Amino acid sequence: MRTTLATLLAVWAGISTGRAQGVDLLLVDGTVYTVDPSRPWAEAVAIAGDRIVSVGTSADLRRLAGPRTRVIALRGAFVSPGFNDAHVHIDSTGALLTGANLLDVHERARFVERIQAATARLPKGSWITRGDWGAYEQWNAGSAGAAGSATAAAPFLPDRSDVDPVTPDHPVFVNRFDRSAYFANTLALRAAGITESTVAPPGGAIDKDASGRLTGVLRGAAADLVARVVPPISFEQRLAQVRAVLREAREGGVTTMQDLTTAPQLAAYQELRRRGELTARIMVRPQLWEVTHVAALGLSRGFGDEWLRLIGFKAWVDGIMGSSGALFFEPYAHDPGNKGYPRHIMFPEGAEGAALRMTASQRYTDFGQGNLEKLIEQAADTGLPPHVHAIGDKANRILLDVYERVLTRRQMVDADHRWRVIHAQVVHPDDFARFGKLKLVAEVNPYHVSDDMRWMEERIGTQRNEGAYAFRKLKDAGAVLVFGSDSPGTNAARYYLSPVYGLYAAVTRQTLTGEPAGGWFPDQRLRIEEAIEAYTRAPAWASFEEDLKGQLAPGRLADLAVFDTNLVEAARSDPQSLLRAKVRYTVVGGRIVFEAGR
């Protein structure tokens, strides 16, 4: 076994250097939570090269120090394996971080200020896009629903006379969070050829003020006039975006990100790696419709190395809760004509309209073999697992039906396949057991609980919410839970890469301000040890990397995070204090990539 050999070599290297020069890095006097079930707690970690060579007491490990060893006395600080975020949209997170983040903006001065700040981060001539202004006009960030509503009289709308003076070199084309309005500055209007005499296309509107002057606000189809002239971003800008995400990751103790990857993104990761700038490992997931290309090239599971590795294919069954696009058996409570919709990768289906027609007593596979099932068959041929998004109860049923048929036909149910259901957000009561029976991984986003609970009951009622973000039920059924931030979040809220938000949400099921008391569906809360495992050891396992990382043990990669707060104690005594926990050091492959105050 390769891993056993690697382990022995690493230990041997550590011992031999220990005799001569000492190990490279020694962390002592810490509170080390190893996530290694055979030895959960320790005081010290010794690192040689990119590997952990020993975990134990400070007294024992100090003997491995030599003249060249950097010794860090942690004074009780908390050490855990580096966090492995199983669900990051690196491209859109980077765009948000380097562009203009307007989520919390709903008045003129701040709008102008944020746009101006973005011009300083972006080269002249680059477009400032997205933005998502006005998200918190409806509720204050982090609060609970209606009780926390901000009271804005009329929705804020920007005007180009305010923005033009600060954007002489940057076309601006940003949108309100719900896409009900877009805003273009004069440079952007000019690029699109929009003038006061332009007639809005059907289904669109071009706003003018009382004197007939363009305000820059565009609606509906009129926004497409600008959207189609926005050029793709430059490679340098893409690198800058990835760098911004890497910075947020290392500041949060995240040492691996599992991405949803496009070709230009992968090129950027490779370039940053060449330049020595990767400070987190990136697990790559192309979209499932690329399966024929991946298969043609002979790429399979594990292709790549410990920095950049191919781990699966991403696909989607349905839309999302935020836009009422998640697919349900019964209509939305607030929108009785709507049960959500299937995503385009589902088409053609085995029978026309199958996903929409199917009832709670039916199986999706009874309608024949649709496109999703065919692609999953091809993925199975490559050995790369499918990782498929399913949010509504019907979407989860559809995916379980498809997985069950393919796994059964290929006699793979017991074959250690590690196929994933992404989100598993609202599961029908009859379907929990199937997660265990089919030995599936549930890749969930705990922070959704803190954010979505504000409107979940209003949208799908109380009963269906008994199966919503039901982490305890999934775990009890036998699913392996892995956590991801889902950064950058929804277009109404930022989800940060820092794992403390997800840990807090999983153990409290409360908003950031602690509502409701006792937690939302509190029987679904997890213990902090389970939550940390879902953010470290479990995602490493789910990517077939359990022998490489996910716990602090000899032979594993030296990826770890040091916090100023004991996360295990904090979760038990004062969960709110998790949110204030700060990272002191982040170490990736034995290299300190973040040090607080430096």
| CA dist., res. 592 & res. 279, Å (int) | 9
Q: How far is the CB of 327 from Zn ion (least distance, A)?
A: 16
Sequence-ordered list of residues with C-beta below 8 angstroms from that of 123, at least 6 positions apart, any chain: 234, 236, 237
Nearer residue to Zn ion within complex by CB, 486 or 545: 486
Which string of x and - marks every residue 486-525 that binds Zn ion (by CB under 5 A)?
Answer: x---------------------------------------
Q: Are 317 and 398 in contact (CB under 8 A)?
A: yes
Nearer residue to Zn ion within complex by CB, 315 or 407: 315
For residue 234, what is the DSSP state? P
Q: What angle do CA 390, 396, 401 make, to 5 degrees?
A: 125
| CA dist., res. 497 & res. 249, Å (int) | 6
| Nearest residue to Zn ion on Cβ basis | 486
Nearer residue to Zn ion within complex by CB, 91 or 559: 91
Q: How far is the CB of 125 from Zn ion (least distance, A)?
A: 31
> Of 329-348, which residues contact Zn ion (CB under 5 A)?
none
Nearer residue to Zn ion within complex by CB, 185 or 256: 256
Nearer residue to Zn ion within complex by CB, 471 or 563: 471
Q: How far is the CB of 534 from Zn ion (least distance, A)?
A: 16
User: Quick check: 443 binds Zn ion (CB under 5 A)?
Assistant: no
Asked if the bond preceding 336 is cis, omega within 30° of 0, the reply is: no
Nearer residue to Zn ion within complex by CB, 91 or 104: 91
> Of 35-54, which residues contact Zn ion (CB under 5 A)?
none
| CA dist., res. 370 & res. 355, Å (int) | 10
Q: How far is the CB of 561 from Zn ion (least distance, A)?
A: 23
Nearer residue to Zn ion within complex by CB, 30 or 319: 319
Q: How far is the CB of 594 from Zn ion (least distance, A)?
A: 25
> Of 454-493, which residues contact Zn ion (CB under 5 A)?
486
Q: Return the half-sphere exposure (C-beta side, CA atoms, 13 A cut-off) of residue 257.
A: 31
By C-alpha distance, which of 515, 373, 363 is closest to 454?
515
How many positions of this chain bind Zn ion (CB under 5 A)?
Answer: 1
Nearer residue to Zn ion within complex by CB, 87 or 281: 87
| CA dist., res. 318 & res. 345, Å (int) | 9
Nearer residue to Zn ion within complex by CB, 171 or 386: 386
Q: How far is the CB of 174 from Zn ion (least distance, A)?
A: 21
By C-alpha distance, which of 281, 234, 235, 292 is closest to 259?
281
Burial class (CB in 10 A: 0-12, 13-18, 19+), 335: exposed
> Of 379-418, which residues contact Zn ion (CB under 5 A)?
none
Retrieve residue 544's tokens. 């077939």
By C-alpha distance, which of 505, 593, 557, 570 is closest to 81?
557
Strands 386-390 and 313-316: parallel
DSSP string, 432-478: HHHHHHTT-EEEE-THHHHHHHHHHHHHHHHHHHTTBT-HHHHHHHT
At residue 514, φ and ψ (nearest 5 deg) are 85, 25
Q: How far is the CB of 547 from Zn ion (least distance, A)?
A: 28
Q: How far is the CB of 53 from Zn ion (least distance, A)?
A: 37
Q: How far is the CB of 254 from Zn ion (least distance, A)?
A: 16
The residues of the shown chain that bind Zn ion, judged by CB under 5 A, are: 486
